[in-house]
Structures are given as structure tokens and as C-alpha cells.
Amino acid sequence: MTIDRELQDIARRTWSAGNWDKVADFIGNAGPRLLDALDVSAGMTLLDVGAGSGGSVAIPAALRGLDVTATDLVPDHFDAGRQRAAQVGVSLDWVEADALDLPFEDESFDRVTSTFGHMFAPDHARAASELVRVCKPGGRIGLACWSPQGTIGRFFALTGEFLPPPPPGFVPPVAWGSEQYVRELLAPYGLDLAFQELLNTFIDESPQHYEDFMFANFGPLVTAVEALGERADEFRAANLALYDDINQATDGTLRYEGQYLQTIAVKPT
């Protein structure tokens, strides 16, 4: 098995574990904010890559009258997505698709988006080329990616400290949250680029409640615990210590900011 194939199998197992749809409720307005910055209007076609259950971008876009295709490597998320969409009275297309090999013709979509989705595909240059390929000339690509130096970057780094080292050549997903890195990745395509550093606020009733919830529902944590065996308790304690360290609340609840980079790229005509 090639390293890429092996990494994709791990990614499928990781994101099938837990229940992303429940975790998705912690992502606030990153999607609607992205849609605002993308200057969308009813009737446009939009592809959302790594859409999960669609709550961030795909369903809000459909509510604005766009013709939306929601894709994900893991189709398990789509049942929850269809329920969410039905509850608000919209329908969209749900298509199983790897961000590294999008099953669409060149120049198919007016808008191409990913909130915290495509960043997990292991070959970043290939993911970038796929996003650009399926976007129409004059169309726009909008990305939201956790920053490496932010709190979510710290969570992923902590997980990395406990797990075996990744294969040589592995670049962490949060590299997509660095403006300089994204400029270099997208340089071959002559896109007009605009960047913004933004915050997603995470709020929960207590750090301990949040930890219990995340370790039950967030796939990367569920699979890390399975892999860690006897070190799982140590890993959980280290996570809880990090929540305490970043917590801005002083009343026993949890409130912290997740820093992310929003990228808007306009494809030349």
C-alpha cells in the first residue's frame, strides 16, 4: 500500500469514529462568514469539500438559494446532514469524494469552499490543485483552516506528541492556517488572494464536560485513545490541562477562542 493510500485509510477510520455531527455544533459562524466574503448569490453553484454534515457552509449556502453539492471522504456524515437540511427545508446533493480526487469536471462550480475539511487531506499540493481545477474562471474559493499557533493547533500538536511519528514528508493539516504556506501552495495558479485571521469561540458548561464530550464524539480523539491503550488516561489529563490553560472563563464554565485563517481566492478569467 502506498503511503498516501495508507494515510487515507487512517483518515476514513478517524473521521468515521465518534460523531462529527455533534461536534459540528461547536463551529459557530465560520461558514456564514465565509459565504459573506465569497459574495454569493442565489442560483450559483457551490461545492463544499470535506462538508461533514453540512452545518457550516453547505446548508447555509442552500438556505441562500445556491445550488449546493456537499462532499466528504466519509459518507457516514450524510444521514445527519440530510436530516439537518430537511429540518430547515432545503435539499442538496451529497457526494462521497476525496479532496485529492474530486469526481467533477474542470471548471464546474462558481464557488468552492472548505471549512476545516480539505486541510486534513494528506497531499496539500494535490488538494490545492483540485480546489482550483473544479472552480470556474472568475469563480471564488473560500477556505477556513485552524492556525498552527492557535489553540486548535496546540490540541493537534499535543495529540501528535502521544502518537507514533507520522511518515516522512507529512505536513500537519494546520499548515493550511498559515498565510505564507497558503500563498506558496496557491502560487502556481495566479489567483487573487485575501486573508483574514478570525476566531471561533468554543463555549461549554465546564472543561470536564467538554473533555468528556470531545473524547466521546471527536473522531481524532476517539481513535487516539484506542491507539494509546494504557497511556490514554495520561493523554486525557494532558488535554484537560490544556483546556484549563486556555480557558478565559472564571465561573467554572469553559470559553476559549480557536484561531483560524480565512482565505478567499479569486480564479482569473
Ligand X SMILES: C[S@@+](CC[C@H](N)C(=O)[O-])C[C@H]1O[C@@H](n2cnc3c(N)ncnc32)[C@H](O)[C@@H]1O
Where do contacts with ligand X occur on this chain (CB under 6 A)? 11, 15, 20, 24, 27, 49-52, 55-56, 72-74, 77, 98-100, 115-117, 120-121
By C-beta, is 158 or 253 nearer to ligand X? 158
Beta-carbon count within 10 A of 258 CB? 22
- What would the grid cell of residue 238 be? 494532558
Which SS3 state, helix, strand or coil, does residue 93 take? strand
**Minimum distance from CB of 252 to ligand X (Å)?**
27
By C-beta, is 20 or 202 nearer to ligand X? 20
By C-beta, is 139 or 258 nearer to ligand X? 258
By C-beta, is 163 or 253 nearer to ligand X? 163
| Amino acid in the structure at residue 264 | I
**Minimum distance from CB of 233 to ligand X (Å)?**
25
According to DSSP, residue 41 is labeled -
Alpha helix locations (H) across the chain? 3-16, 20-23, 30-37, 58-63, 78-87, 124-134, 151-162, 179-186, 207-217, 219-228, 232-246
CA 104 to chain centre: 20
**Minimum distance from CB of 144 to ligand X (Å)?**
8
**Which residue is it, cell 450559483?**
44
Residue number closest to ligand X, CB atom = 52
**Minimum distance from CB of 205 to ligand X (Å)?**
22
**Minimum distance from CB of 127 to ligand X (Å)?**
7
Angle subtended at Cα 164 by Cα 159 and Cα 165, rounded to the nearest 5 degrees: 90
By C-beta, is 121 or 214 nearer to ligand X? 121
